Chains A and B, each alone.
Chain A
Amino acid sequence: MSEPRVTELGMLSIGLVAAGVIDLAAYLPRRAPLLAPSLLLAAAAAVLAANLVQVARRPGFAWRRFVQVAGWTLVAYLVIAGMLEYTFLYDRTRGGVLAVMTGLLAVFTLNVPLLVGYTVARYERA
């Protein structure tokens, strides 16, 4: 069975998040149209979900190591995400823009632990 393309899909998902953030930031301080970033958010979340399914269906995967590494990475990135969310709130980002920004941030924050945890766990052997 060939190796799942977790890294490539992770890069794609992070790229879609980045495109959404750039699109929103390009309109600041005016209110940005939300259609394009919302579509980018949906696409990024779909790619992340597909990636998670790929990992979950991998036979003989080292789940213990994955949970250990991804868990600690998630803790670190939650600190960074918390700081970014604080910056959005501090800058008085509200309503739909805040919701889309938070969604993009959440997808980004989940992608990193998945990528680090998967890369470590795929080389794990008994």
Chain B
Amino acid sequence: MAVVQEVAPARPAERPGFEIVPRRGLPAVAAVVVALVVSIAGNWPWALDFFHVVGGGMWTALDLFMGFVVGPVMRRLSVPARVELTTRLMPKMLLIMPTLVTMTLASGFQLARANGMLSGSYGRHGWVVASMVVVAVMAMVALALLQPANVAVLFELRRPQPDPAIVQALMRRFVYAAGVTGMMQVATLVIMTRLAT
């Protein structure tokens, strides 16, 4: 007896729904910002150290991980896998990265000011200025290339029919920008360990 097997018609791969900015994370961001303002207002050395070391460590590690691990992995993924990773990872990065950067820079500036490291008479003032230049380069790349590409790719992926060429162009921009900030983070590690030694 012949077995007749029905074959379901092929359906396009479904993309999970997602929020461009995950609103559930906003209270955590607000809590960090409030704690940071309180630490600056109270001028508490331990709290400022905590924000600078924890924020800086996480910022550096995430930039290096995104630039040198996730970026190259993403380039080799299939398009559906890349889309799924992007829609799950990138909205979280939109909250995490600006929070870490604000934590690190605001507390770092206060610490440098309190410890006299901003003063021209400080023995390693050149390294402090070098760290500011590195941060400036990272800010230019992150704010002009990385973050806009991140938001734009999420808007494109929310469409019923995303244009693969646009997604690819934006992701290429994102991956290269992440590589540049990764390299800048290596410079940051050298400068910060010089300052701490």
Q: A11-B144, A22-B132, A90-B41 are in contact. Are A27 and B149 (CB under 8 A)?
A: no
For the side of the interface on A, what is the size category? Answer: 35 or more
Instruction: Tell me which residues across on chain B come within 8 A of A7, comparing CB atoms.
Output: 144-145, 148
Taking chain B's interface residues, is the majority helix, strand, or loop, or is none over half, making it mixed? helix
Instruction: Tell me which residues across on chain A come within 8 A of B33, comparing CB atoms.
Output: 79, 83
- Give B159 Cβ to nearest chain A Cβ, in Å: 9
- Give A124 Cβ to nearest chain B Cβ, in Å: 8
> Of A69, A73, A87, which contacts B109 at CB under 8 A?
A87
B152 at the interface (CB under 8 A from A): yes
B118 at the interface (CB under 8 A from A): yes
Q: How far is the CA of A122 from the CA of B119 in the complex (A)?
A: 44
B166 at the interface (CB under 8 A from A): yes
Q: How far is the CA of A68 from the CA of B106 in the complex (A)?
A: 28
Taking chain A's interface residues, is the majority helix, strand, or loop, or is none over half, making it mixed? helix
> Of A29, A87, A116, which contacts B119 at CB under 8 A?
A29
Instruction: Tell me which residues across on chain B come within 8 A of A26, comparing CB atoms.
Output: 118, 120, 125, 129
Q: Give the nearest-CB partner of B30 in chain A.
A: A79
Chain B: residues with CB nearer than 8 A to chain A? 21, 33, 36-37, 40-41, 98, 102, 106, 109-110, 113, 118-120, 125, 129, 132-133, 135-136, 139-141, 143-145, 147-149, 151-152, 155-156, 163, 166, 170
Instruction: Tell me which residues across on chain B come within 8 A of A124, comparing CB atoms.
Output: 155
Q: Give the nearest-CB partner of A22 in chain B.
A: B132
Do residues B144 and A14 form an inter-chain contact, with CB atoms below 8 A?
Answer: yes
- Give B94 Cβ to nearest chain A Cβ, in Å: 9
28 contacts between A and B (CB under 8 A): A7-B144, A10-B144, A14-B140, A19-B136, A21-B136, A22-B132, A22-B136, A25-B132, A26-B120, A26-B129, A29-B118, A30-B120, A65-B155, A80-B98, A80-B102, A83-B36, A83-B106, A86-B37, A87-B40, A87-B110, A115-B143, A115-B148, A116-B148, A116-B151, A119-B148, A119-B151, A120-B151, A120-B152
A97 at the interface (CB under 8 A from B): no
A42 at the interface (CB under 8 A from B): no
A52 at the interface (CB under 8 A from B): no
Q: A28-B118, A80-B98 are in contact. Are A120 and B148 (CB under 8 A)?
A: yes
Instruction: Tell me which residues across on chain A come within 8 A of B37, comparing CB atoms.
Output: 83, 86
Instruction: Tell me which residues across on chain B come within 8 A of A115, comparing CB atoms.
Output: 143-144, 147-148
